Amino acid sequence: MSLPAPNPVPALRLPTVAPLADSALEARLQHLIDRKTKPTGALGRIERLALQIGLILRSERPVLDAPQMLVFAADHGIAAQGVSAYPQEVTWQMVENMLAGGAAINVFSRQMGLALTLVDAGVAHDFAPRAGLVTRKIAHGTRDASVEPAMTTDECIRALEAGRELVRALPGNAVLFGEMGIANTSSAALLLAKFAGVPLSAAVGRGTGLDDAGLARKREVLERALARHAGATEPLDVLAALGGFEIAMMAGAMLQAASERRVVVVDGFITGAAQLAARALAPQVHDYCVFSHLGAEHGHAALIGALKAEPLLAMGLRLGEGSGAALAWPLVDAAARMLAEMASFESAGVADRDA
Protein backbone atom coordinates (compact mmCIF):
# COMPACT_ATOMS: atom_id res chain seq x y z
CA MET A 1 0.00 0.00 0.00
CA SER A 2 1.43 3.36 -0.98
CA LEU A 3 1.53 6.18 1.51
CA PRO A 4 -0.16 9.47 0.62
CA ALA A 5 2.18 12.11 -0.73
CA PRO A 6 3.13 14.74 1.83
CA ASN A 7 1.68 18.19 1.41
CA PRO A 8 4.16 20.29 -0.56
CA VAL A 9 5.85 23.18 1.22
CA PRO A 10 4.57 26.43 -0.28
CA ALA A 11 7.10 28.47 -2.20
CA LEU A 12 8.43 31.59 -0.50
CA ARG A 13 7.01 34.67 -2.20
CA LEU A 14 8.88 37.88 -1.50
CA PRO A 15 7.57 41.32 -2.38
CA THR A 16 9.65 43.56 -4.59
CA VAL A 17 11.45 46.20 -2.55
CA ALA A 18 12.61 48.97 -4.84
CA PRO A 19 16.03 50.54 -4.29
CA LEU A 20 15.68 53.81 -2.41
CA ALA A 21 18.43 55.59 -4.34
CA ASP A 22 17.20 58.39 -6.60
CA SER A 23 19.98 60.86 -7.25
CA ALA A 24 17.77 63.55 -8.78
CA LEU A 25 15.22 63.47 -5.96
CA GLU A 26 17.97 63.29 -3.36
CA ALA A 27 19.63 66.40 -4.80
CA ARG A 28 16.34 68.32 -4.72
CA LEU A 29 15.59 67.23 -1.17
CA GLN A 30 19.07 68.09 0.05
CA HIS A 31 18.83 71.53 -1.57
CA LEU A 32 15.49 72.15 0.17
CA ILE A 33 16.92 71.05 3.53
CA ASP A 34 20.02 73.22 3.10
CA ARG A 35 17.90 76.28 2.22
CA LYS A 36 15.74 76.10 5.36
CA THR A 37 16.15 79.02 7.75
CA LYS A 38 19.09 77.61 9.68
CA PRO A 39 22.82 77.15 9.26
CA THR A 40 23.63 74.23 6.99
CA GLY A 41 23.54 70.99 8.97
CA ALA A 42 22.39 72.71 12.15
CA LEU A 43 19.59 70.17 12.77
CA GLY A 44 22.05 67.29 12.57
CA ARG A 45 20.44 63.85 12.62
CA ILE A 46 17.00 65.35 11.96
CA GLU A 47 18.21 66.53 8.56
CA ARG A 48 19.44 63.07 7.57
CA LEU A 49 16.18 61.58 8.76
CA ALA A 50 14.17 64.13 6.77
CA LEU A 51 16.13 63.22 3.64
CA GLN A 52 15.42 59.51 4.22
CA ILE A 53 11.70 60.12 4.74
CA GLY A 54 11.51 62.28 1.63
CA LEU A 55 13.16 59.53 -0.40
CA ILE A 56 10.91 56.81 1.02
CA LEU A 57 7.70 58.75 0.41
CA ARG A 58 9.07 60.32 -2.79
CA SER A 59 7.90 63.74 -1.70
CA GLU A 60 9.41 67.15 -1.11
CA ARG A 61 6.59 67.84 1.36
CA PRO A 62 6.13 64.51 3.14
CA VAL A 63 3.26 63.91 5.55
CA LEU A 64 3.30 60.90 7.86
CA ASP A 65 -0.24 59.57 7.78
CA ALA A 66 -2.00 57.15 10.16
CA PRO A 67 1.10 55.62 11.83
CA GLN A 68 0.54 52.01 12.89
CA MET A 69 2.13 50.33 15.91
CA LEU A 70 2.25 46.54 15.45
CA VAL A 71 3.22 44.40 18.44
CA PHE A 72 3.79 40.71 17.66
CA ALA A 73 3.68 38.14 20.48
CA ALA A 74 4.81 34.50 20.53
CA ASP A 75 6.39 31.87 22.74
CA HIS A 76 9.68 30.02 22.29
CA GLY A 77 10.38 26.37 22.98
CA ILE A 78 13.91 27.17 24.09
CA ALA A 79 12.41 28.77 27.21
CA ALA A 80 12.25 25.23 28.63
CA GLN A 81 16.06 25.36 28.95
CA GLY A 82 15.87 28.09 31.59
CA VAL A 83 17.20 30.91 29.40
CA SER A 84 14.83 33.52 30.85
CA ALA A 85 14.38 34.91 34.34
CA TYR A 86 10.59 34.82 33.86
CA PRO A 87 8.28 31.83 33.24
CA GLN A 88 6.73 31.35 29.81
CA GLU A 89 3.21 32.25 30.96
CA VAL A 90 4.32 35.87 31.31
CA THR A 91 3.98 36.16 27.52
CA TRP A 92 0.22 35.68 27.50
CA GLN A 93 -0.21 37.57 30.76
CA MET A 94 1.56 40.60 29.28
CA VAL A 95 -0.58 40.37 26.14
CA GLU A 96 -3.62 40.50 28.40
CA ASN A 97 -2.12 43.53 30.13
CA MET A 98 -1.67 45.21 26.74
CA LEU A 99 -5.23 44.36 25.73
CA ALA A 100 -6.39 45.95 28.98
CA GLY A 101 -4.41 49.10 28.15
CA GLY A 102 -1.96 48.84 31.04
CA ALA A 103 1.45 48.26 29.42
CA ALA A 104 4.08 50.86 28.58
CA ILE A 105 3.32 50.55 24.88
CA ASN A 106 -0.34 51.39 25.55
CA VAL A 107 0.66 54.52 27.44
CA PHE A 108 3.14 55.66 24.79
CA SER A 109 0.85 54.81 21.85
CA ARG A 110 -1.95 56.86 23.38
CA GLN A 111 0.43 59.75 23.97
CA MET A 112 1.87 59.66 20.44
CA GLY A 113 -1.41 59.04 18.62
CA LEU A 114 -0.32 55.64 17.29
CA ALA A 115 -2.90 53.02 16.28
CA LEU A 116 -1.91 49.94 18.29
CA THR A 117 -2.58 46.40 17.06
CA LEU A 118 -1.53 43.30 19.01
CA VAL A 119 -0.82 40.19 16.96
CA ASP A 120 -0.88 36.67 18.37
CA ALA A 121 1.78 35.12 16.15
CA GLY A 122 2.21 31.99 18.26
CA VAL A 123 1.50 32.42 21.97
CA ALA A 124 1.08 29.24 24.03
CA HIS A 125 -2.38 30.39 25.10
CA ASP A 126 -5.74 30.92 23.43
CA PHE A 127 -7.14 34.43 23.76
CA ALA A 128 -10.78 35.36 23.65
CA PRO A 129 -11.54 37.52 20.59
CA ARG A 130 -11.63 41.23 21.26
CA ALA A 131 -10.89 44.60 19.74
CA GLY A 132 -7.24 45.34 19.16
CA LEU A 133 -6.15 41.69 18.89
CA VAL A 134 -5.41 39.98 15.59
CA THR A 135 -4.91 36.22 15.77
CA ARG A 136 -2.43 34.80 13.27
CA LYS A 137 -1.23 31.94 15.48
CA ILE A 138 1.07 29.56 13.62
CA ALA A 139 1.35 27.19 16.61
CA HIS A 140 1.39 27.36 20.40
CA GLY A 141 5.05 28.44 20.47
CA THR A 142 8.06 27.26 18.53
CA ARG A 143 10.06 24.13 19.28
CA ASP A 144 13.26 24.12 21.33
CA ALA A 145 15.98 25.33 18.94
CA SER A 146 18.67 23.70 21.06
CA VAL A 147 17.16 20.31 20.20
CA GLU A 148 15.54 20.74 16.76
CA PRO A 149 14.58 23.51 14.33
CA ALA A 150 12.34 26.05 15.99
CA MET A 151 10.03 26.06 12.97
CA THR A 152 9.44 23.92 9.95
CA THR A 153 10.01 25.62 6.61
CA ASP A 154 6.24 25.64 6.08
CA GLU A 155 5.64 27.37 9.44
CA CYS A 156 8.30 29.95 8.74
CA ILE A 157 6.85 30.79 5.31
CA ARG A 158 3.36 31.00 6.79
CA ALA A 159 4.62 33.44 9.43
CA LEU A 160 6.33 35.60 6.80
CA GLU A 161 3.18 35.60 4.67
CA ALA A 162 0.98 36.45 7.66
CA GLY A 163 3.14 39.50 8.40
CA ARG A 164 2.81 40.64 4.80
CA GLU A 165 -0.96 40.22 4.87
CA LEU A 166 -1.26 42.23 8.08
CA VAL A 167 0.54 45.23 6.60
CA ARG A 168 -1.42 45.07 3.36
CA ALA A 169 -4.61 45.54 5.38
CA LEU A 170 -3.36 48.58 7.31
CA PRO A 171 -3.80 52.24 6.38
CA GLY A 172 -1.07 54.85 6.57
CA ASN A 173 2.50 55.23 5.37
CA ALA A 174 4.46 54.40 8.54
CA VAL A 175 4.66 51.19 10.58
CA LEU A 176 6.32 50.89 13.98
CA PHE A 177 7.30 47.46 15.27
CA GLY A 178 7.33 45.88 18.70
CA GLU A 179 7.21 42.40 20.22
CA MET A 180 6.52 40.34 23.31
CA GLY A 181 7.80 36.83 23.98
CA ILE A 182 9.60 35.21 26.88
CA ALA A 183 13.01 33.90 25.68
CA ASN A 184 12.97 35.91 22.47
CA THR A 185 16.31 37.56 23.29
CA SER A 186 17.75 34.04 22.89
CA SER A 187 16.30 33.75 19.40
CA ALA A 188 17.50 37.26 18.54
CA ALA A 189 21.03 36.49 19.76
CA LEU A 190 21.15 33.32 17.66
CA LEU A 191 19.99 35.17 14.56
CA LEU A 192 22.54 37.92 15.16
CA ALA A 193 25.32 35.35 15.47
CA LYS A 194 24.21 33.47 12.37
CA PHE A 195 23.30 36.35 10.04
CA ALA A 196 26.03 38.80 11.06
CA GLY A 197 28.80 36.50 12.29
CA VAL A 198 28.79 38.15 15.72
CA PRO A 199 30.30 35.89 18.44
CA LEU A 200 27.74 34.68 20.94
CA SER A 201 29.80 36.29 23.68
CA ALA A 202 28.89 39.66 22.14
CA ALA A 203 25.33 38.69 21.23
CA VAL A 204 23.98 37.11 24.42
CA GLY A 205 22.71 39.29 27.26
CA ARG A 206 20.69 39.04 30.44
CA GLY A 207 17.32 39.50 28.74
CA THR A 208 14.67 40.02 31.39
CA GLY A 209 17.29 40.06 34.16
CA LEU A 210 19.25 36.82 34.46
CA ASP A 211 21.82 36.56 37.23
CA ASP A 212 25.39 35.45 36.47
CA ALA A 213 24.56 31.75 36.74
CA GLY A 214 21.53 32.18 34.51
CA LEU A 215 23.56 34.08 31.95
CA ALA A 216 26.20 31.33 31.86
CA ARG A 217 23.46 28.72 31.36
CA LYS A 218 21.88 30.79 28.57
CA ARG A 219 25.23 31.06 26.76
CA GLU A 220 25.78 27.31 27.01
CA VAL A 221 22.30 26.53 25.66
CA LEU A 222 22.70 28.94 22.76
CA GLU A 223 26.12 27.54 21.90
CA ARG A 224 24.48 24.13 21.58
CA ALA A 225 21.70 25.54 19.43
CA LEU A 226 24.13 27.31 17.13
CA ALA A 227 26.25 24.18 16.75
CA ARG A 228 23.20 22.02 16.07
CA HIS A 229 22.13 24.25 13.18
CA ALA A 230 25.56 24.99 11.76
CA GLY A 231 24.43 23.57 8.42
CA ALA A 232 21.67 26.18 7.99
CA THR A 233 23.05 28.80 5.62
CA GLU A 234 20.18 30.08 3.46
CA PRO A 235 18.21 32.95 5.06
CA LEU A 236 14.93 31.02 5.22
CA ASP A 237 16.65 27.98 6.76
CA VAL A 238 18.38 30.13 9.37
CA LEU A 239 15.17 31.90 10.30
CA ALA A 240 13.26 28.62 10.57
CA ALA A 241 15.96 26.92 12.64
CA LEU A 242 16.61 29.70 15.13
CA GLY A 243 13.84 32.28 14.91
CA GLY A 244 10.47 32.81 16.54
CA PHE A 245 7.02 33.16 15.07
CA GLU A 246 6.86 36.82 16.08
CA ILE A 247 10.29 37.50 14.56
CA ALA A 248 9.44 35.82 11.26
CA MET A 249 6.09 37.59 11.12
CA MET A 250 7.76 40.94 11.79
CA ALA A 251 10.28 40.23 9.04
CA GLY A 252 7.47 39.59 6.58
CA ALA A 253 5.65 42.72 7.72
CA MET A 254 8.81 44.81 7.29
CA LEU A 255 9.32 43.47 3.78
CA GLN A 256 5.75 44.32 2.85
CA ALA A 257 5.95 47.79 4.40
CA ALA A 258 9.13 48.57 2.48
CA SER A 259 7.63 47.26 -0.75
CA GLU A 260 4.76 49.74 -0.25
CA ARG A 261 7.23 52.57 0.46
CA ARG A 262 6.17 52.97 4.07
CA VAL A 263 8.53 54.27 6.74
CA VAL A 264 9.58 51.34 8.96
CA VAL A 265 10.45 52.21 12.57
CA VAL A 266 12.46 49.47 14.30
CA ASP A 267 12.35 49.16 18.08
CA GLY A 268 15.09 47.26 19.90
CA PHE A 269 17.09 44.04 19.94
CA ILE A 270 14.38 41.58 18.87
CA THR A 271 12.86 43.80 16.19
CA GLY A 272 16.42 44.48 15.02
CA ALA A 273 16.91 40.73 14.62
CA ALA A 274 13.73 40.62 12.53
CA GLN A 275 15.19 43.37 10.38
CA LEU A 276 18.37 41.31 9.98
CA ALA A 277 16.25 38.43 8.69
CA ALA A 278 14.28 40.69 6.37
CA ARG A 279 17.51 42.22 5.06
CA ALA A 280 18.94 38.77 4.39
CA LEU A 281 15.87 38.06 2.23
CA ALA A 282 15.79 41.48 0.52
CA PRO A 283 18.78 43.75 1.23
CA GLN A 284 17.00 46.94 0.05
CA VAL A 285 14.64 46.80 3.05
CA HIS A 286 17.38 48.34 5.19
CA ASP A 287 17.06 51.73 3.49
CA TYR A 288 13.40 52.02 4.56
CA CYS A 289 14.18 51.46 8.25
CA VAL A 290 14.56 54.05 10.98
CA PHE A 291 16.30 52.63 14.05
CA SER A 292 14.68 54.16 17.09
CA HIS A 293 17.23 53.56 19.84
CA LEU A 294 20.32 51.84 21.16
CA GLY A 295 19.14 49.66 24.02
CA ALA A 296 20.78 48.26 27.13
CA GLU A 297 20.50 44.58 26.12
CA HIS A 298 24.07 43.33 25.66
CA GLY A 299 23.71 42.27 22.03
CA HIS A 300 21.96 45.39 20.80
CA ALA A 301 25.14 47.41 20.29
CA ALA A 302 26.61 44.57 18.23
CA LEU A 303 23.43 44.37 16.17
CA ILE A 304 23.38 48.13 15.54
CA GLY A 305 27.02 47.93 14.54
CA ALA A 306 26.40 45.01 12.17
CA LEU A 307 23.57 46.93 10.52
CA LYS A 308 25.63 50.14 10.35
CA ALA A 309 22.55 51.85 11.73
CA GLU A 310 22.23 55.28 13.34
CA PRO A 311 19.75 55.04 16.24
CA LEU A 312 17.86 58.14 17.27
CA LEU A 313 17.93 57.62 21.04
CA ALA A 314 20.19 56.07 23.68
CA MET A 315 18.25 55.91 26.93
CA GLY A 316 19.14 52.54 28.41
CA LEU A 317 15.86 50.96 27.31
CA ARG A 318 15.45 47.17 27.32
CA LEU A 319 11.70 46.67 27.60
CA GLY A 320 10.71 45.83 24.06
CA GLU A 321 6.99 46.05 23.23
CA GLY A 322 7.81 48.77 20.67
CA SER A 323 8.42 51.21 23.53
CA GLY A 324 11.58 52.69 21.99
CA ALA A 325 9.92 53.04 18.59
CA ALA A 326 7.00 54.91 20.15
CA LEU A 327 9.31 57.21 22.12
CA ALA A 328 11.28 58.01 18.96
CA TRP A 329 8.18 58.69 16.90
CA PRO A 330 8.01 62.44 17.67
CA LEU A 331 11.51 62.81 16.19
CA VAL A 332 10.46 60.97 13.03
CA ASP A 333 7.38 63.17 12.73
CA ALA A 334 9.45 66.30 13.43
CA ALA A 335 11.85 65.44 10.62
CA ALA A 336 9.02 65.09 8.12
CA ARG A 337 7.41 68.33 9.31
CA MET A 338 10.70 70.20 9.09
CA LEU A 339 11.04 69.25 5.43
CA ALA A 340 7.39 69.96 4.62
CA GLU A 341 6.69 73.07 6.70
CA MET A 342 9.85 74.96 7.62
CA ALA A 343 10.43 78.16 5.68
CA SER A 344 13.35 78.71 3.37
CA PHE A 345 15.56 81.79 3.40
CA GLU A 346 13.80 82.91 0.22
CA SER A 347 10.20 82.38 1.40
CA ALA A 348 10.84 83.94 4.81
CA GLY A 349 12.78 86.91 3.46
CA VAL A 350 15.70 86.10 5.76
CA ALA A 351 19.17 87.06 4.66
CA ASP A 352 21.52 84.12 4.11
CA ARG A 353 25.12 84.28 5.25
CA ASP A 354 27.54 86.20 3.07
CA ALA A 355 28.78 84.29 0.04
- Give the model confidence (pLDDT) of 97-147 as tens digits: 999 999 999 999 999 999 999 999 999 999 999 999 999 999 999 999 999
Cβ 73 vs Cβ 116: under 8 Å: no
Q: How many CB atoms lie within 10 A of CB 232?
A: 17
315 touches 327 (CB < 8 A): yes
Options 161, 179, 297, 321, the catalytic residue: 321
Are 99 and 209 contacting, i.e. CB atoms less than 8 angstroms apart?
A: no
For residue range 220-259, what is the model confidence (pLDDT) as tens digits? 999 999 999 999 999 999 999 999 999 999 999 999 999 9
CA nearest to 289, candidates 12, 13, 71, 17: 17
> Which region among 7-11, 149-153, 281-285 has the lowest average model confidence (pLDDT)?
7-11
What is the per-residue pLDDT across 186-203, written as a single tens digit (0 to 9) for each? 999 999 999 999 999 999
For the chain, the residue count is 355
pLDDT higher than threshold 60 for residue 337: yes
Spatial separation of the C-alpha atoms in residues 331 and 312, rounded to whole Å: 8
- pLDDT at residue 1, rounded to an integer: 42
Q: Which residues pair with residue 289 across a beta bridge?
A: 264
> For the segment 41-61, what is each residue's pLDDT rounded down to a tens digit?
999 999 999 999 999 999 999
Angstrom CA distances, 310 to 45, 54, 251, 314, 321, stand at 9, 17, 20, 11, 20
Q: What single string gives the DSSP state of each residue in 174-199?
A: EEEEEEE-TTHHHHHHHHHHHHH---
**235 Cβ contact list (under 8 Å, min separation 6):** 195, 277, 280, 281
With DSSP H G I counted as helix, E B as strand and the rest as coil, what are the percentages for the chain, rounded to 5? Answer: 50, 10, 40
341 carries an active-site annotation: no
Burial 61-79 (b: 16+ CB within 10 A, else e): ebebeebbbbbbbbbbbbb
Confidence of residue 11 (pLDDT cuts 50, 70, 90): confident
Mean pLDDT of 317-328: 97
CA distance 219 to 216: 5
CA 264/CA 42 separation, integer angstroms: 25
Give DSSP secondary structure letters for 306-318.
Answer: HHT---SB-S---
Closest CA to 32 of 310, 312, 341, 329: 341
DSSP letters along 82-109, please? Answer: S-SSS-TTHHHHHHHHHHTT-SHHHHHH
pLDDT at 208: 86
pLDDT top residue among 101 and 4:
101
CA pair distance 290, 275, nearest whole angstrom: 11
User: How many CA atoms are closer than 13 Å to the CA of 181, on its beta-carbon side?
Assistant: 38
Q: Where are the beta strands (DSSP E) in the chain?
A: 68-74, 115-122, 133-135, 174-180, 263-266, 289-291
Does position 10 have pLDDT exceeding 80, yes or no?
A: no
Q: Which residues contact 35 (CB under 8 A, 6 or more apart)?
A: 344, 345, 346
Q: Is the per-residue pLDDT at 353 higher than 80?
A: no
pLDDT in tens, 56-86: 999 999 999 999 999 999 999 999 999 999 9
Q: Which domains does the chain have, with CATH numbers?
A: 24-63+337-348 (1.10.1610), 68-329 (3.40.50.10210)
Average pLDDT, the chain: 95
Cα(347)–Cα(190) distance, integer angstroms: 53
184-196 and 212-228 helices, crossing angle to 10°: 50
Q: What is the pLDDT of residue 118?
A: 98
Q: What is the percent of the chain with per-residue pLDDT over 90, rounded to a whole number?
A: 94
